[in-house]
Amino acid sequence: MSVTIIRIGAERPIIENTLDRNRSALIDAVRGLSESDARRRLVASLTTPISLIKHAAAAERIWFQRFWANLDASECDGYSERDEGTFAVDAGESLSDVIAEFERASQLSRTIAAGFDLDDTKVNPVEGELSMRWTLLAMIEEFARHAGHADILREQIEAGPVIPLPG
């Protein structure tokens, strides 16, 4: 999915557009992988292409549903704890299911964020006082980093067996 780039104008649309472009880049990096490739573990951590999308959906819930909308975990539309469970993908979940989950969580995040000004703040028990601006920028950073991870994983998957470099 391609998101048009906004390069000029007011700050908020540029920030929101950049966040949406990073959400899209993360999805694009894994879309089209086979179910087995989406679950391939190529690094020591729990990071797989599908788990990156699952984690991103949880990050949306943690920051927008839990923190900004003040919902209890039981009121969220999926997993929203700050732990390694954000990477857990059930065996019955397909890549398209997890992408759809991330897209739904992202849409709800957009709706929640729209109810706040960029300068609105709340106190987080771990990070302290945070603004909506900080949250949006933190999500840009989070999804850009994970899109890069997904790009590297996809490159490894598509390259096949690793050939050692000489010397």
Residue 77 CB neighbour total at 10 angstroms: 14
Domains by residue range for the chain, with CATH? 11-159 (1.20.120.450)
Sequence length of the chain is 167
Mean pLDDT, residues 138-149? 98
Q: Encode burial over 117-152: b for 16+ CB neighbours within 10 A, e otherwise.
A: eeeeeeeeeeeeebebbebbeebbebbbebbebbbe
Q: Give the residues across from 130 on adjacent strands.
A: 122
47-74 pLDDT, tens digit per residue, is: 999 999 999 999 999 999 999 999 999 9
Compute the distance between CA of residue 56 and CA of residue 147 in angstroms, rounded to an integer. 10
Q: Tens of pLDDT along 125-134?
A: 999 999 999 9
Report the chain's mean pLDDT, rounded to a whole number.
Answer: 95
pTM above 0.85, yes or no: yes
pLDDT digits (tens, 9 = 90+) for 14-46: 999 999 999 999 999 999 999 999 999 999 999
List CB contacts of 10: < 8 A, sequence separation 6 or more: none
112 pLDDT exceeds 80?
yes
